[in-house]
Chain A
Amino acid sequence: MSDAVLDDTSLPHDVSTFDKGYLGDGHTLRSWLLTTDHKRIAILYALTLTIFFFIGGVAIALVRIELVTPAQDFVTADEYNRLFTLHGIIMVWFFLVPSIPATFGNFLLPLMIGARDLAFPRLNLFSWYLTVIGGAFTVYVLLAGGVDTGWTFYTPYSSIYSNSHVIAAAIAVFVAGFGTIATGINFIVTTHTMRAPGLTWFRLPLFVWAMYTVSVVIILATPVLAMALTLMMAERFFGVPIFNPQGGGDPILFQHLFWFYSHPAVYIMILPAMGVVSEVIPCFARRRLFGYDFMVYALVAISVVGFFVWGHHMFVSGESPYANLVFSFLSFVVAVPSAIKVFNWTATLYRGQITYEAPMLYAFGFVGLFTMGGLTGLFLASIPIDVQATDTYFVIAHFHYVMVGGTVSAFFAALHFWWSKITGRMYPETWARFAAVLMYFGFNFTFFPQFIMGWAGMPRRYGSYPPEFQIYHVLSSAGAVVLAAAYLMPLGYLTWSLRWGRRAGDNPWGATGLEWQTSSPPPTHNFDKLPTVERAPYDYHPEGYVETGEAARTIEASQKGGEQE
């Protein structure tokens, strides 16, 4: 794989980005909407998810404006409840869950294992349509007046009491969930059956391992969400008494079913991010990933143990105190493999040749924010601490550190790292570095105050609140402005780079993965000649390498070539 590093001086061609590779293979709407090319489907997903990311972002922007003052004065209480619910549903199911797998996983999995496509290309297109249909239901809910149950759909509020579009919202999530399941099946079969000759399981890049483990979690957990929502809809629509105690039902049963999905769903959101960071850090440290085997075991351990910790969301629900003990203990256990991964990423830097392009900055941001999110997870796993912190802003801050600080940072790391592979163009480095740093500070500015006010007792889902919490809400809303700017910047400069960006060459980072051995953007059939694999992944500079690496010089050469364009 390492000889790809030298083969990296390809100069600009006289064709536009959109005439090259898979992008040049048809320009009609039909050629996109009926494509079975995993790379084009990844682009379809990316566009869809970007739209939803910004709808969810607008919803929370209105929430943060309301929260600047303690009184309920910008929107009504009902509107406020609909806004945070919309934010949650869209960000969880129409951004975070599909984000990295459906875009980067879809684009890269076949390339990384040396395959021409996923195992089931038409199923892949079908899963995008399912996501779009689910999204259409969400848009309908939005236009029809919204849903006010919170993203958790707790019964009996959702099934009996709410006067909003609960059924349509549940159908949206239900349908999109099947899209995710289809993607998971596709990834599992592809990884099992389509690896290039010589690409054994322990030669797979960590990103592929992450896609594989997350797919297993998806197909085991998502059906339970479908069941929970179906039962809830049955009670709401047909009056079947399941969760409503007045009919002899048990409202807590819904919470068990919901969290049996939704805790693993947290890992559905974070495992792909871990995969991305495991690709980026070795590349920019020019160093083999430290403890590859342990990184794989950690992914597997997280996906297995992650299924047995759901009860920690329910410590104050009236669950048996002895069940609480078991769930608390297992929650501490599941934190161990995550900690191992943080240590391994850090140790990968040791004796490296580190450079700080934007993907590396995002990856550093990921490690810092994920560590904060993980450690505050230990607080919430401790029962007496959780009793105070649950359903307050402490929890909000904790899971945003993991899902936004973690997953969204990794999403942007991936976007910048593989942008040249996807489009054939480089993004503008200075702008990207600035956005990365801004995102890190904007994030902490927004969410760190929420830990303090959460412990002080500020409950979540409050549109009005006692005045002693105002200072934290003002800080948080100000931070959100910075964060919003940091999210909008890439939208601008990446779009700009599609036309004016420097041509990237096939392997601008001197990276070792198979995806860098084909051209940028890759041809529809991915590889002119299918690769064979003879070595372990991350074959960066050998042990004891002292001077600036050959790979690093190649980067300089290609950058000079680009600037002369």
Chain B
Amino acid sequence: MRHFIFFPPEASVYARHVDWILFGLLGVSAAIIGLVVALLLVFGIRYRRGSRAPRGPLPAWVSRDVEIGWTVATLFTFVFIFWYATASFLTTIGAAPNALEIHVVGKQWMWKIEHSNGVREINELHVPIGIPVKLVMISQDVIHSFFLPALRIKQDVLPGRYTSESFTADKTGTYNLFCAEYCGTDHARMGGSIVIMKKADYQKWLDAQPGAENLAGQGRQLFVRLGCAGCHFEKGHRRAPDLAGLYGSYVELADGRTVRADDSYLRDSILQPKRDIVAGYAPIMPSFEGTVSEDQIFELVAFIKSYSGDAETTQ
């Protein structure tokens, strides 16, 4: 790591874009503070007590017209800055399709990272350049915040709810990773680095990792071990909904609502199965709250996402 930093490295197009907004704001602010300080100095010196500067009467209209003038001017300037800063933000709502999805679990005081091919790391995040990455994050205890200064992104990581942040890095290197939301004793140590690599290097790194089955495969094993398969893979008369092709579809619930089966829905259905009962089924599924950890839920969800109802499902 370097021993001095004046301006943070820019490791994505977005980071450079944010910096241009910063420079725009710095320019406007310098102009405003320059004006205020210049007026303070000029008036302060010119109209010091006893100076010879003339002090004729102000015409009656001066006060009102000047007030309205600078009120309107300030309002326009500020609304312009709002527009300038917000326009770029609007384009970042919603992640790129086909993003490389990486799962992050925050806990006191470490980051656990699960790649979709099953590779795991702690307090380090390896990503390739040029490929959109989407981090799907959840906390096991208190609120944390996943902060990557070189990419100008930060997102709180909440217990009980998925949040995400997306980026496309374009500069290789090792950069800071911090927890930005105060989380207790070792908050200051809950960090590490993001390693941005060329695609070939990234592949090499992946291959060198201890061989593990991919996340969906681990999820399938877990699915069977926890006994989920008993009902969900049952043939013929079903006690539980079929999971094939479920992810992303719309599900009709017993109470008449329709919900989209996304990550949060699947997570809630594992932990609080009585909340969203699928139409036509009895509420017999037990809760897995306390039985499965957040990283295991990521595996289960990854499995359900990938599951399309292949042949050798039942055991």
Residues in A lying within 8 Å of B, measured CB to CB: 72, 77-78, 80-81, 148-150, 152, 154, 156-157, 160-162, 244-246, 248, 251-252, 285-286, 290-291, 294, 316-318, 321, 324-325, 328-329, 332-333, 335-336, 339-340, 342-344, 346-347, 349-356, 364, 367-368, 371-372, 375-376, 378-379, 381-385, 387-388, 390-392, 452-453, 455-457, 459-471, 543-546, 548-549, 552
Chain B residue with minimal CB distance to A247? B160
Q: A245-B161, A455-B8, A462-B188 are in contact. Are A546 and B142 (CB under 8 A)?
A: no
Report whether A77 and B186 are in contact in the complex, using a CB–CB cutoff of 8 Å.
yes
Residue numbers in B under 8 Å from A353 (CB-CB): 47-50, 55
Segment at the interface with A among B78-86, B222-230, B301-309: B78-86
Q: Does B145 contact A (CB under 8 A)?
A: yes
User: Can you give 26 A-B contacts (C-beta < 8 A)?
Assistant: A72-B188, A157-B143, A157-B182, A248-B272, A251-B158, A251-B159, A252-B158, A291-B66, A318-B161, A325-B89, A332-B81, A339-B70, A347-B66, A350-B47, A354-B43, A368-B40, A378-B29, A382-B21, A383-B85, A384-B17, A385-B18, A387-B18, A387-B154, A456-B7, A461-B182, A466-B1
Residues of A within 8 A of B1 (CB): 466-468
Contact between A329 and B82 (Cβ–Cβ < 8 Å)? Answer: yes
Inter-subunit contact A332/B22 (CB<8 Å): no
Q: Are A317 and B156 in contact (CB under 8 A)?
A: yes
Cα(A441)–Cα(B187), bound, Å: 32
Q: Is the CB of B185 within 8 A of A459?
A: no
- Bound: A468/B49 CA distance, A: 49
Q: Are A385 and B3 in contact (CB under 8 A)?
A: no
Shortest A461–chain B CB gap in Å is: 4
CB distance from B9 to the nearest CB of A (A): 9
Asked if residues B188 and A463 are in contact (CB atoms below 8 Å), the reply is yes
With a cutoff of 8 Å between Cβ atoms, the chain A residues found around residue B86 in the complex are 325, 328-329, 382-383
Q: Is the interface of B mostly helix, strand, loop or mixed?
A: mixed
**Bound CA span A465–B1, Å:** 12
Which residues from B are CB-within-8-Å of A160? Answer: 142
Docked pose: A328 CA to B84 CA in angstroms: 12
- Give the dominant DSSP class at A's interface: helix
* One of B53, B55, B63, B82 near A332 (C-beta < 8 A): B82
B57 in complex: contacting residue of A245, A543, A548, CB < 8 Å: A543
In the complex, are the beta carbons of A78 and B185 less than 8 A apart?
Answer: yes
Ranked nearest first, the 7 interchain pairs of A and B with the lowest CB-CB distance are A245-B160, A457-B149, A382-B85, A349-B43, A543-B57, A462-B188, A391-B180
User: In the docked arrangement, what's the CA distance between A321 and B164, Å?
Assistant: 12
User: How close is B34's CB to chain A, nearest CB, in angstroms?
Assistant: 10
Contact between B184 and A162 (Cβ–Cβ < 8 Å)? yes
The reply to whether A388 and B4 form a contact with Cβ atoms under 8 Å apart is: no
Output the least CB separation between A344 and chain B (Å).
Answer: 8
Chain A neighbourhood of B178, CB < 8 A: 457, 459
Residues of A within 8 A of B180 (CB): 316, 390-392, 459
| 0/1 interface trace, chain B 19-42, chain A, CB 8 Å (1 if under) | 001100100110011001101100
In-complex Cβ contact of A352 among B47, B57, B183 (8 A): B47
Contacts of A318 in B (CB 8 A): 155-156, 158, 161, 163
A349 touches B57 (CB 8 A): no
Taking the nearest CB of chain A, how far is it from the CB of B76, in angstroms? 10
Contact A316 B55 (CB under 8 A): no
When distances are taken between beta carbons in the complex, the residues of chain B under 8 Å from A162 are 184
Partner of B5, one of A343, A352, A468: A468
Which chain B residue shows the least CB distance to A346?
Answer: B39
In whole angstroms, what is the CA distance A461 to B190 when docked? 12
Across-interface contacts of B184 in A (CB, < 8 A)? 81, 148, 157, 161-162
Closest to A455 in B: B8
Smallest beta-carbon distance A304→chain B, Å: 16
A544 to B55, CA, bound (A): 5
Q: With A456-B6, A457-B176 in contact, is A385–B36 under 8 Å at CB?
A: no
Interface residue B252 (Cβ < 8 Å from any Cβ of A): no
Q: How far is the CA of A342 from the CA of B71 in the complex (A)?
A: 11
Considering the chains assembled together, what is the distance between the CA atoms of A155 and B281 in angstroms?
36
Judge whether B258 is part of the interface by a CB distance below 8 angstroms: no
**Do B54 and A546 have beta carbons less than 8 Å apart?**
yes
Contact, CB under 8 Å: B49 / A351: no
Query: Measured between C-beta atoms, what is the minimum distance from A318 to chain B in Å?
Result: 5
How many angstroms between the C-alpha atoms of A453 and B37 in the bound complex? Answer: 25
Judging by beta carbons under 8 Å apart, are B74 and A340 in contact?
yes
Shortest CB distance A197–B (Å): 28
On whether the beta carbons of A456 and B85 are closer than 8 Å, the reply is: no
Q: Which residues of A contact B284 (CB under 8 A)?
A: none
Of the candidates A354, A453, A544, A549, the one whose C-beta lies within 8 Å of that of B47 is A354
B181 touches A (CB below 8 Å): yes
Is there an interface contact between B44 and A291, defined as CB atoms closer than 8 Å?
no
Mark out the residues of chain B between 160 and 185 whose CB falls within 8 Å of any chain A CB in the assembled complex.
160-161, 163, 176, 178-185
A332-B88 contact given A77-B185, A384-B152, CB 8 Å threshold = no
Tell me if B81 and A371 are in contact (CB < 8 A). Answer: no
CB neighbours (8 Å) of A455 from chain B are 7-8, 22
Do B22 and A367 touch (CB < 8 A)? no
Given contacts A252-B158, A471-B4, 20 further A-B contacts (CB under 8 A): A77-B185, A154-B142, A291-B67, A318-B163, A325-B89, A332-B78, A336-B74, A339-B32, A343-B74, A351-B58, A364-B40, A368-B36, A368-B37, A368-B40, A391-B145, A456-B7, A460-B182, A467-B3, A546-B55, A552-B49
B147 part of interface (Cβ distance < 8 Å): yes
Contacting residues, chain B, for A157 (C-beta < 8 A): 142-143, 182-184
Of A156, A376, A387, A460, which contacts B152 at CB under 8 A? Answer: A387
CA distance A196 to B56 in the complex (A): 33
B75 sits at the interface (CB 8 A) = yes
- B262: min CB distance to chain A, Å: 15
A471 to B, closest residue via Cβ: B4
Inter-subunit contact A391/B154 (CB<8 Å): yes
Say which residue of B5, B90, B145, B160 sits within 8 Å of A246 (CB atoms).
Answer: B160
Determine if B189 is an interface residue (Cβ-Cβ < 8 Å). yes
* B141 in the interface (beta carbon within 8 A): yes
Complex CA gap A154/B145 in Å reads 13
Contacts of B282 in A (CB 8 A): none
Q: Given A340-B70, A382-B21, are A332 and B79 also a contact pair (CB < 8 Å)?
A: yes
List the B side residues contacting A251 at CB < 8 Å.
Answer: 143, 158-160
Looking at B3, B39, B49, the one whose CB has the most chain A CB atoms below 10 A away is B49
